[in-house]
Amino acid sequence: MADSLREVEHLLDVGRGAEAVTAAGRAAAAFPGEPAPLRLLAAALVEVGRYDEAVAQARAAVAAAPDDVRALVVLATALHGAGRAPEALQAARDATRLDPSDPAVWNAVALAAPDGPERVQAAQRMVGLVPASSVAHNTLGVVLIPQDRAAARRCFEEALRLDPSSAVARSNLALTALRGRPLAAASGFFAAARLDPRLEEARHNLDIAVTTVVDRGRVAVAALLYGCSLALGDYSGTRPVAAPDNLGVVRGVWFAGLAVGAAFTVRALSRFAVPLRGYFGRALRAGGATTFWGVVLALLAVAGSVSMFLPPGAGFDTRRTLLRVAAVVVIGAWVVERRRRRER
């Protein structure tokens, strides 16, 4: 049995959850009623997201060995994954009573408890037991994010100092920058996803960060082009603000505005790390909101540029046309982002 259990543990360590489920299932069938194979089978099922099955196997492991702290921890994790937080917290508390010196039991409490003193104290207790553990500092950071983002950031930085290869800590550190510094957050999520391609959270948040950067650039360029149109007015004859005899000045101001918008875009893209530029390019080629709004901005620039060469009286009202397009850009972006957030 020992060899079978070591095989399952190895498969779990290297992230091969589906294979671990198969190996643990064989071990549980070969040694019916033994708590260790049942516990590892439950852990493997958690790894692949089959939480309800994991709960059943973990309960069987606890029934076979009521004093097995590790089985209670796996049960708490499985219950939490299944969305049964109160039961998960009770299982974690039972584990702390059996062995309060095991940091895993406090990690289980921190995972299952709602935001509040119990959760923070559990994470702090874990750090106190294993101060050199990157996982412990990462857990404390996750707990502190809703209350103190700066303190959470320090925890993630310490977790990375202890284990620079921790993709989870790197992703969580990037999360603290998502609100105010989306470009830095995108770089962090990208680095985390490269460290561990299986980390769904990093890839999900990378999409959000890149979209946020693109949104800010899109709105800024749209505002710049519309501002130019307001300054120029319409020289087609319907508005005499920019008269036809000043056409050279009108064109100069417009194309200077385009140049500034292009420079803004190039500067924003240049701040992406080289590999991240490739990711952005793939997202642009893949279609979706980013591609759509890029096309809208390009059409906005083309429409304004064409109007610079129309003869007087052609009836092309630059200001009104650009106002409508800019309104579509801003309102459309808001609608698209609301839909994306609701789906996520």
Q: Mean pLDDT across the stretch 87-96?
A: 93
Instruction: Say what the pLDDT of residue 173 is.
Output: 92
- 334 and 282 co-located in one domain: yes
153 with 268, same domain? no
State the Cα–Cα distance between residues 182 and 195, nearest whole angstrom: 20
pLDDT of residue 306: 73
- Tokens linked to 201: 């959270």
What per-residue confidence (pLDDT) applies to 239?
45
Asked if residue 222 and residue 128 are part of one domain, the reply reads no
| Residue ranges making up the domain that contains 39 | 2-163
Inter-residue contact 158 to 144 (CB < 8 Å): no
The pLDDT score that the predictor gives to residue 110 is 92
* pLDDT of res. 257: 74
Query: Residue 192 domain-assigned?
Result: no
Distance CA 291, CA 218 (A): 11
Residue 177 placed within a domain: no
Rounded percentage of the chain residues whose pLDDT exceeds 70:
69
Under the banding of pLDDT at 50, 70 and 90, the label for residue 272 is low
Residues 159, 218, single domain; the answer is no
pTM above 0.75, yes or no: no
R_g over Cα of the chain: 28
| d(C-alpha 247, C-alpha 130), whole Å | 73
Q: How confident is the model at residue 210 (pLDDT cuts 50, 70, 90)?
A: confident
Residue 223 and residue 141 share a domain: no
Q: Reply yes or no on whether the pLDDT at 27 is more than 50.
A: yes
For residues 95 and 216, membership in a common domain is answered with no
Let me know whether 292 and 158 are in one domain. no
CATH number of the domain enclosing 107: 1.25.40.10
How many structural domains are present in the chain? 2
Q: How confident is the model at residue 9 (pLDDT cuts 50, 70, 90)?
A: confident
Asked, for residue 196, whether it belongs to a domain, the answer is: no
Q: What percent of the chain has pLDDT over 90?
A: 32
**Segment 324-338 mean pLDDT:** 64
Note whether residue 36 is domain-resident: yes
Q: Is 193 among the domain residues?
A: no
d(CA 241, CA 293): 30
* Helical pair 117-129 and 103-112, crossing angle rounded to 10 deg: 160
37 close to 24: Cβ distance less than 8 angstroms = yes
**Does residue 229 sit within a domain?**
yes
What is the chain's mean pLDDT, rounded? 79
Regarding whether 145 and 219 lie in a shared domain, the answer is no
Q: What mean pLDDT do residues 36-50 have?
A: 90
The answer to whether position 313 is within a domain reads: yes
Last residue of a domain, one of 147, 163, 179: 163
Residue 235: the pLDDT is 46
pLDDT at 237: 41
pLDDT of residue 334: 63
Residues 148 and 237 in one domain: no
In this structure, are 127 and 236 located in the same domain? Answer: no
Confidence of residue 13 (pLDDT cuts 50, 70, 90): confident
Tell me: do 113 and 256 sit in the same domain.
no
Same domain, 135 and 280: no
CA distances from 259 to 2, 233, 276, 295, 299 (A): 69, 19, 25, 17, 15
* pLDDT tens-digit map of 189-206: 888 888 888 788 887 788
**Biggest CA-to-CA distance, the chain:** 94
Distance CA 253, CA 248 (A): 9
List C-alpha distances in Å: 143 to 90, 209, 254. Answer: 18, 22, 51
CA distance 147 to 93: 23
Most confident of 42-56, 169-183, 224-238, 289-303: 42-56
pLDDT in tens, 278-303: 666 666 655 555 566 667 667 767 76
pLDDT average, residue stretch 219-233: 61
- The pLDDT score that the predictor gives to residue 56 is 93
Q: Is residue 183 included in any domain, yes or no?
A: no
